[in-house]
Structure 1
């Protein structure tokens, strides 16, 4: 298919088999609204269930990731409440969530979107990976995300076998990247540097029985504050992080050498072999002996 033949707006259907994949995409598109436009959205190519009048708003039956890559405008959370949205903002719309939006007439905007549904996506939101009260994620203009939207439009236009699975992967990746960029934006540079420094200290002193309290002291931070920041940044506590690294090293040793379990335990700072076995099984599902039998 030639680039000139690709339509920028595509609505898709999915089979029962596609739905079993856990994610299906129903629309993908890109549209540039020029400044001083007469009407928004343009009355073309949009099915009734997706079309809306900004003054009345709408509710979708599925999720949608709306990305503003140029210009600015207004997003309405209710007929009375609104906020500015601008380039670099990702809007995550959920099923049955009332909303409305429109570009600023002075600037217009370029919007990209992908709509999807499915049990896999339901679980992402049900398990609180995303704040229920947050709709706008200010992640900045990311070239890699723009490229994913462009690729999704191309794949949707070609409609080859397996395109739903390809598009599902793109939707899932965009959602994950939104979480990644938003999550890391919340940490200022100084805090990031401190946590990164802490991770280096842990790795360099892993075999010296270093404690989370030791690490906090080395980066001149109270332990309670260090533990809070570390968990927010990495998703796990400092103690958990240390244990994970030790078990990772234990797995490497057990699978690559004939060193016995007791020696591995003491090497990694576990004075009690029974405790080492308990921790190892907690992280791997196997005892050290079982793991060695399988992988050595």
Structure 2
């Protein structure tokens, strides 16, 4: 996602899409900073999805709300709430009143995907998910964040059969929620810390973060974080960050007309010669030769 871009989309569905069994009506992500002025942000959400925490709302579709940073509160009635923390995913059911908001002290990072259809209805009718359970603790899973990001990209492009593609992603996130919630081990802190580190890196990649800042976000010493990260991923944190940047650079070179200079600065490289050196080290090509070979006309 580009800096300052709109990271959500609302979609329409055709009668043919409905026959597929699941249709997606919204997908997106939003970082809510500490001491935020208002929630949810008034940034163009339709009336059917917008709400004020004091009044709550009732949706006509399901929604998977995933919190990867911060904490907050979910209200099942005006007087009854559940505390939400990072690593929680909420399954919001249609035609049920609810409200939620992040803690002012922490804010939070939220991802959501909303959908409906007979295939989803059958999950509850067949008791795969308890009707009275809303919050599932699955930990911060980089693989699930990637699926949300993929869904946002597919929705933004809105190509033919995007509803079927999005339905597959929504169904996969739902299945992974069931898998992780049933198999999550609270003593497996190291695995969750690495997953949280990956998510933090992906969410802050274009801000020029370094490995030390990632370690600080986890309240770990850098030496211990580096050792743990490399044991679990096979890469040092610095190498992992560069790999993600080079992946984005390859995509931008192949699919856009941005100049090498624009791409280098967008990805927070200090100068073009350094960007060219790193790019060639990781790909075997200079940026210009890569675009010439793999660029799409």
Q: TM-score range by the shorter chain?
A: 0.5 to 0.7
Q: Give the alignment of 1:194-233 within 5 angstroms.
A: none
Q: CA deviation at 1:42?
A: 0.9
Q: CA deviation at 1:7?
A: 2.8
Q: CA deviation at 1:67?
A: 0.2
- Tell me, yes or no, if structure 1 residue 135 matches structure 2 residue 134: yes
Q: What SS does structure 2 have at the residue aligned with 1:42? A: coil
Q: CA deviation at 1:184?
A: 1.4
Counterpart position of 1:185: 184
Structure 1 gaps of 5+ residues are 190-296
Q: Structure 1 residues 13 and 5 mapped into 2: Cα distance closer, same or farther (>3 Å)?
A: farther
Q: What SS does structure 2 have at the residue aligned with 1:144? A: helix
Structure 1 segments (4+ residues) deviating >6 Å: 186-189
Q: CA deviation at 1:125?
A: 1.1
Q: Is residue 7–residue 157 contact of structure 1 (8 Å, CA) maintained in 2?
A: no
Q: Give the alignment of 1:1-296 within 5 angstroms.
A: 3=2, 7-185=6-184
CA distance in structure 2 between the aligned counterparts of 1:4 and 1:39, rounded to whole angstroms: 21
Q: Is residue 23–residue 119 contact of structure 1 (8 Å, CA) maintained in 2?
A: yes
Q: Is residue 41–residue 53 contact of structure 1 (8 Å, CA) maintained in 2?
A: yes
CA distance in structure 2 between the aligned counterparts of 1:136 and 1:83, rounded to whole angstroms: 8
Q: What SS does structure 2 have at the residue aligned with 1:137? A: strand
Q: CA deviation at 1:188?
A: 8.4
CA distance in structure 2 between the aligned counterparts of 1:51 and 1:89, rounded to whole angstroms: 22
Q: CA deviation at 1:3?
A: 4.3
Q: CA deviation at 1:118?
A: 0.5
Counterpart position of 1:197: none
**Bigger Rg, structure 1 or 2:** 1
CA distance in structure 2 between the aligned counterparts of 1:179 and 1:103, rounded to whole angstroms: 24
TM-score in terms of structure 2 length: 0.61
CA distance in structure 1 between the aligned counterparts of 2:118 and 2:160, rounded to whole angstroms: 22
CA distance in structure 2 between the aligned counterparts of 1:37 and 1:4, rounded to whole angstroms: 19
Q: CA deviation at 1:83?
A: 1.5
Q: What SS does structure 1 have at the residue aligned with 2:67? A: strand
Structure 2 gaps of 5+ residues are 189-297
CA distance in structure 2 between the aligned counterparts of 1:90 and 1:4, rounded to whole angstroms: 25
Q: Deviations over 1:3-33 (max 9, x none)?
A: 4696301000011111110000000000011
C-alpha root-mean-square deviation of aligned residues, in Å?
Answer: 1.7
Q: CA deviation at 1:87?
A: 0.7
Q: Is residue 25–residue 167 contact of structure 1 (8 Å, CA) maintained in 2?
A: yes
CA distance in structure 1 between the aligned counterparts of 2:45 and 2:11, rounded to whole angstroms: 12
TM-score in terms of structure 1 length: 0.61
Q: Structure 1 residues 35 and 5 mapped into 2: Cα distance closer, same or farther (>3 Å)?
A: closer
Q: CA deviation at 1:185?
A: 2.6
Q: What SS does structure 2 have at the residue aligned with 1:77? A: strand
Q: Deviations over 1:108-145 (max 9, x none)?
A: 00100000000111111111000111100011100000
Q: Structure 1 residues 130 and 33 mapped into 2: Cα distance closer, same or farther (>3 Å)?
A: same
Q: CA deviation at 1:43?
A: 1.1
Q: Structure 1 residues 73 and 15 mapped into 2: Cα distance closer, same or farther (>3 Å)?
A: same
